[in-house]
Amino acid sequence: MPYTVEYFNQRVSDEVESWPVGILADYARLVELLMEFGPDLRMPHSRTMGGGLLELRPRGREGIGRALYCFAVGKRVVVLHAFIKKSQATPQRDIDIARKRMKEVRDGCK
């Protein structure tokens, strides 16, 4: 698989691991697709949020998860922020957190 997936920090990894089993299983499947297809992965699995930020869209009978990510140098995917969705729209606060972290990744601070 040409792409590798890593997490911005341990808290992001821990958040994903705390998800309900159904959402986590779908997330694992989507990560495999992301590793295989990279930027070619599209709806309904992945959606662009603009400016290089994308979201992985896992779901299970327990609800809907979101993992915001970006691509970094060297065929790396960095999962910047993850959460369980509680409303129809992705909360702006979550997008802002991911954008700030993406800037750190792109500036080489991470």
Q: Specify the pLDDT at position 88.
A: 87
**Pairwise CA distance, residues 96 & 27, whole Å:** 22
CB 90 within 8 A of CB 84: no
**Pairwise CA distance, residues 96 & 36, whole Å:** 28
Residue 108 or residue 54, greater confidence: 54
Its pTM stands at: 0.94
For the segment 83-105, what is each residue's pLDDT rounded down to a tens digit?
A: 999 888 899 999 999 999 999 99
Q: What are the distances in angstroms from CA 12 to CA 7, 25, 46, 61?
A: 6, 17, 18, 22
Domains along the chain with CATH numbers:
4-106 (3.30.2310.20)
Is the per-residue pLDDT at 82 higher than 70? yes
Amino acid at residue number 39: P
Q: Is 75 helix (H, G, I), strand (E, B) or coil?
A: coil
For the segment 5-63, what is each residue's pLDDT rounded down to a tens digit?
A: 999 999 999 999 999 999 999 999 999 999 999 999 999 999 999 999 999 999 999 99
Q: Specify the pLDDT at position 108.
A: 78
Q: Specify the pLDDT at position 109.
A: 61
Q: 73, 81, 85, 76: which is closest to 101 by C-alpha?
A: 81
Joined together, the tokens standing for residue 51 give 């400016």
